[in-house]
Amino acid sequence: MFKKKNIIISLIVIIILAILFIGFKLLVKVGNPKYFYNYLHDAAGSLPVESYTANAKSADDGKAKPTENTDPETKGVIQSIEVDGQKVNSYERTEKIEFTDDLLNGISDISGLVTFRGNYSRSKSSTGTPSVTKEKFAESKWTYNTGKILKSNGVDYWSGNGWTGQPLLAKWSSETKAVMNLNESAKNKDGLIEVIYPGMDGSIHFLDIETGEETRPEIYVGMTFKGTASLYPDGKTPLLFCGSGDAQTGPFGENVSQRFYIYSLIDGTLLYESGYNDDFAPRIWHAYDSSPVIDPITDTLIYPGENGVIYTMKLNTSYDEAAGTLSVAPSDIVKFSFDIPEKYAEGGTLWGSECSACVWNGYLFIGDNGGSIYCLDLNSMKMVWINDVAEDINSSPIFETDGGNHFLYVATTLKYGYNSHNMGKASIYKMNAVTGEIIWRKPYEVHTVKGYAGGVLSTGALGTGLVSDYIFYSVSKTPDLEGGYLVALDKHTGEEVWTKKLDMYSWSSTVFFTSEQGKNYLIQGCQNGDLILFDAKTGNVLDTVNFGSGIEATPALYGNRLILATRSEKIFGVKIE
């Protein structure tokens, strides 16, 4: 009898401990006991592809045009344009913007990474062809400590580097290095690759890719940077463009609005700032997570904001390398915004873009928080077509020309509050870039919790070589609450070629590269600190290293040297062997 009683007591203790353990995980990893249902119930994960192949018609046209289904007028779109502070009914750019294939390819061929995903098609996640013999990450690595900054709520902190947070990589000419405020060792180093990394700690860091040593003094801005910066895309003009992702509390308790900045990388001087407290904006949240686009031919900056405005301006850049002088004098400031009264609530959170735009010819393609993906004619600042993909578009659209046809790849996340259990569909789409029509849709059922969206926050990676028919994405919070997938889709059909379950979800974008030996690889960072090396053809895991904290930012690869950062205030340099 006594023994039976002890067994019962032991079982009760075990049950209580199990409940406490689950409760602890909910509070620590999920943050709210209301997600108990999600913790116990898996989402469906991968769902059948929906195919609309007839919508590929006219994808070979060189001029964007709407169909009846994607016409802004029939969708009830109300467009607004402002030129130099005055609202106008129409606009025509004097110097025409045209991102030709030659221009886009030239930007992509610059040695380094000058913007998010390396080019304005958002299709270049690495540069160089490293020799890979061991198919593993080297044990030795360098570490650089960053920091944190107080959030606008005055209580919590932004720390380390987060989404999208890809570092830029620059190989400056010896002539440009000579006029920069580089340390002597960096200035004299042949083949220096400089890591340029605005962080969530409010600073812009400059490091040697090989050693992690500082190449010049950091620029302390005092505003957090979540998104990815851009360099002037001619490979020589040392201008840096970056935007803050959160407001800050000033020294007297005042609110300091987010804005975008232009810095000289000759001496770190702030040349220009704008995009704050803008009465033209339909939304007061003036964040700039989007990586800006710069047309070097017309010297035009194109900067999408989360305030619902797309800004363009002629920079009037003046750079004298011999004299070591650099300036900008922005003029012809043109702003675009739009409304769909039945969809966007006044002052609501659906306006604005966090993803980065891609461009082709005179067109810009971008998605927003309300699930609208649209094409904007940059020379008239008029919307050409618009489509509704229902959910938040955080993943940057990818532009591709394949066999003379023009396509977009777009992916969504699931907004919090979708239903009582916050489980629903997030999808990856292939679209006709000319008309905006959907060619296929690959849905996934995912979880979303407050502040941590499920679905696709990463930007896809287009394969080349042996995997030129593949596109790769990470899908978060599926099928279980903390899990995720890395998937290879057939880009023609949307069907899964292979799927790998991740131990923990990922917002970090997948890095694709091809070795000197001709083999294709993927690198994926995860929120549990795992960095994983995959065979891109098969999905087989080749190596895994854990960095102790979430890898939310997107890494950058130059040759066989990878730069990655974590939320725990560290930047790492890792070599691939």
Q: Reply yes or no on whether the pLDDT at 127 is more than 90.
A: yes
Q: Reply yes or no on whether the pLDDT at 52 is more than 50.
A: yes
Q: Reply yes or no on whether the pLDDT at 194 is more than 50.
A: yes
Q: Reply yes or no on whether the pLDDT at 222 is more than 70.
A: yes
**In 367-391, which positions are buried (b, 16+ CB within 10 angstroms) versus exposed (e)?**
bbbbbbbbbbbbbebbbbbbbebbb
Domains 97-121+167-226+229-339 and 129-146+459-577 share a fold: yes
Contact 316, 299 (CB under 8 A): yes
Contact 42, 482 (CB under 8 A): no
Positive or negative, the Cα torsion across 370, 372, 377, 378? positive
Mean pLDDT of 161-179: 96
Domain boundary assignment for the chain: 1-31, 44-91+357-450, 97-121+167-226+229-339, 129-146+459-577
When computed from its CA atoms, the radius of gyration of the chain, rounded to whole angstroms, is 24
Q: Reply yes or no on whether the pLDDT at 519 is more than 70.
A: yes
Q: Which stretch of DSSP H or E encloses residue 262?
A: strand 260-264
Model confidence at 563, pLDDT cuts 50, 70, 90, reads very high
Residues 259-269 have pLDDT tens digits of 999 999 999 99
Residue with tokens 């580089």: 182
Model confidence at 35, pLDDT cuts 50, 70, 90, reads confident
Model confidence at 157, pLDDT cuts 50, 70, 90, reads very high
Q: How many CB atoms lie within 10 A of CB 65?
A: 14
Model confidence at 415, pLDDT cuts 50, 70, 90, reads confident
Q: Reply yes or no on whether the pLDDT at 238 is more than 60.
A: yes
What does the DSSP 8-state code read for residue 58? Answer: T
Q: Reply yes or no on whether the pLDDT at 485 is more than 70.
A: yes
Positive or negative, the Cα torsion across 365, 398, 454, 568? negative
Instruction: Tell me how far apart the alpha carbons of residues 91 and 78 are, in angstroms, rounded to a whole number.
Output: 15
Q: What per-residue confidence (pLDDT) applies to 38? A: 85
Q: What per-residue confidence (pLDDT) applies to 28? A: 45
Q: What per-residue confidence (pLDDT) applies to 19? A: 66
Q: Reply yes or no on whether the pLDDT at 562 is more than 90.
A: yes
Contact 122, 459 (CB under 8 A): yes
Mean pLDDT of 148-158: 89
> Which fold is adopted by the domain 129-146+459-577?
Lipocalin (2.40.128)
Average pLDDT of the residues of the chain: 94
Instruction: Tell me how far apart the alpha carbons of residues 223 and 149 are, in angstroms, rounded to a whole number.
Output: 8
Mean pLDDT of 140-150: 96
Q: Reply yes or no on whether the pLDDT at 565 is more than 90.
A: yes
Assign domain 44-91+357-450 to a CATH class: mainly beta
Q: Reply yes or no on whether the pLDDT at 25 is more than 70.
A: no
Q: Which residues pair with 280 in a beta bridge?
A: none
Segment among 153-162, 224-233, 516-525 with least mean pLDDT: 153-162
Query: 117: which residues sit within 8 A by CB, 6+ positions away?
Result: 123, 124, 125, 166, 356, 396, 398, 459, 509, 554
The CATH code of domain 97-121+167-226+229-339 reads: 2.40.128.630
Residues 268-278 have pLDDT tens digits of 999 999 999 99
Nearest by Cα to 223 from 197, 261, 277: 261
Mean pLDDT of 433-447: 98
Residues 328-365 have pLDDT tens digits of 999 999 999 999 998 998 778 899 999 999 999 999 99
pTM for the predicted model, two decimal places: 0.94
Mean pLDDT of 314-341: 97
Segment among 12-26, 265-279, 325-339, 375-389 with least mean pLDDT: 12-26
Model confidence at 33, pLDDT cuts 50, 70, 90, reads low
